[in-house]
């Protein structure tokens, strides 16, 4: 394994070919682009592990753009059903008809289906992935009697945050071993600064301070914080700073408050913030 720094009916977002064709910035960290391309060429499913806000979703969107493939993104949750993934019969003016779900559309079109935080989905739902994630590459639709062979360009990608796993929410070994695995982490300082600058246009000195602050907050994870400052939050903060907002106010609303509901913890974070951003 390489170390790199779904309301049930409609918690599904499809990022497909209708989206605007814009170049999506992504800063590679450790050969993950080439590894993903190899997996795509060999028709292998990919599992991406990593903490919240480290760039997993951005990476998948970047690769879909690079490979010129339609991308269907599913935000997994406790109420996600197999029908949410594969489709269901609906009633319309002309009677009953079948509507494909995002997974089925990706299978038919040869697109990429990305299941974000897959461990949040019920285990009886993720079982539907098994025949797609091995050499069969098929999707049985019990309600229509179809057995769909995946189009050549189809790729299954799933992700989750290992820090959230527990006895009740984890990926079954029989599912996990059907995927090749990539592990993401937060970028190295220089790379993270570059990402923030290119994403927001913030001054380099502010990007440097934000990354240094994030590094300090991340060292508090084991003691005071359930979550650490993600690259995503740093980008939010940098965007607010470029609008001219006071850095202390920015850090409170973009970093301290999102990281904790406890007022004492929030105040403690702000004390750390003041080391890097004087009033």
pLDDT in tens, 208-255: 999 999 999 988 755 567 788 999 999 999 999 999 999 999 999 999
Residues 112, 157: Cα–Cα separation, whole Å = 7
In the beta sheet, which residues pair with residue 156?
113
Decide: helix, strand or coil at residue 175.
helix
Q: Per CATH, is 2-184 categorized as 1.10.10.10?
A: no
User: What does the pLDDT read at residue 14?
Assistant: 46
Strand order in the sheet with 12-13: 2-4, 180-184, 46-49, 155-160, 112-116, 71-75, 12-13
pLDDT surpasses 70 at 53: yes
State both tokens at 227: 């979550």
Please give the model's pTM, rounded to 2 decimal places.
Answer: 0.84
Rounded to 10 degrees, the C-alpha dihedral 170/35/56/198 comes to 160
E strand or H helix at 140: strand 138-141
Report the candidate in 117, 161, 110 with the shortest Cα–Cα distance to residue 132: 110
Overall average pLDDT of the 247-275 stretch: 94
Per DSSP bridges, beta strands 87-92 and 95-100 are antiparallel
User: What does the pLDDT read at residue 6?
Assistant: 33
Residues 247, 273: Cα–Cα separation, whole Å = 9
Residues 39, 16: Cα–Cα separation, whole Å = 21
Residues 273, 276: Cα–Cα separation, whole Å = 6
Report the candidate in 192, 201, 214 with the shortest Cα–Cα distance to residue 276: 214
Overall average pLDDT of the 256-275 stretch: 93
Decide: helix, strand or coil at residue 187.
coil
- pLDDT for 151-200, tens place per residue? 999 999 999 988 765 545 677 788 889 999 999 999 999 999 999 999 99
Decide: helix, strand or coil at residue 74.
strand
State both tokens at 72: 């269907």
pLDDT surpasses 60 at 97: yes
Decide: helix, strand or coil at residue 58.
helix
The secondary structure of the chain in percent helix, strand, coil, rounded to multiples of 5, reads: 45, 20, 40
Per DSSP bridges, beta strands 155-160 and 112-116 are parallel
Percentage with pLDDT > 70 across the chain? 88
- Neighbour tally for 213: CB within 10 Å: 22
State both tokens at 35: 């590894």
Overall average pLDDT of the 108-112 stretch: 97
State both tokens at 20: 């605007």
């Amino acid at each position: 394994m390489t170390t790199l720094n779904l309301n049930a009916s409609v918690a599904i977002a499809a990022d497909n070919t209708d989206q605007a064709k814009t170049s999506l910035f992504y800063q590679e960290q450790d050969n993950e682009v080439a590894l993903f391309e190899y997996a795509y060429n060999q028709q292998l499913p990919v599992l991406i592990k990593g903490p919240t806000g480290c760039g997993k979703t951005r990476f998948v969107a970047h690769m879909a753009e690079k490979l010129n493939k339609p991308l269907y993104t599913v935000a997994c949750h406790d109420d996600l059903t197999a029908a949410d993934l594969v489709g269901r019969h609906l009633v319309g003016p002309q009677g009953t008809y079948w509507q494909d779900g995002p997974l089925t559309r990706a299978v038919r079109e040869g697109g990429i289906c990305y299941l974000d935080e897959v461990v949040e989905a019920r285990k009886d739902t993720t079982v539907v992935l098994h025949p797609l994630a091995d050499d069969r590459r098929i999707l049985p639709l019990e309600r229509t009697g179809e057995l769909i062979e995946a189009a050549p360009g189809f790729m299954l990608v799933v992700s989750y945050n290992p820090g959230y796993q527990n006895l009740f929410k984890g990926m079954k070994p029989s599912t996990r071993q059907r995927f090749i695995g990539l592990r993401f982490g937060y970028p190295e300082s220089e790379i993270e600064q570059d990402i923030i600058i290119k994403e927001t246009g913030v001054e380099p000195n502010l990007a440097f301070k934000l990354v240094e602050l994030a590094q300090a907050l991340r060292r508090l994870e084991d003691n005071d914080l359930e979550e650490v400052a993600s690259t995503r939050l740093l980008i939010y903060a940098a965007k607010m700073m470029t609008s001219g907002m006071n850095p202390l106010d920015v850090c409170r609303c973009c970093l301290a408050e999102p990281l904790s509901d406890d007022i004492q913890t929030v105040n403690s974070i702000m004390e750390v913030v003041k080391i890097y951003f004087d009033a």
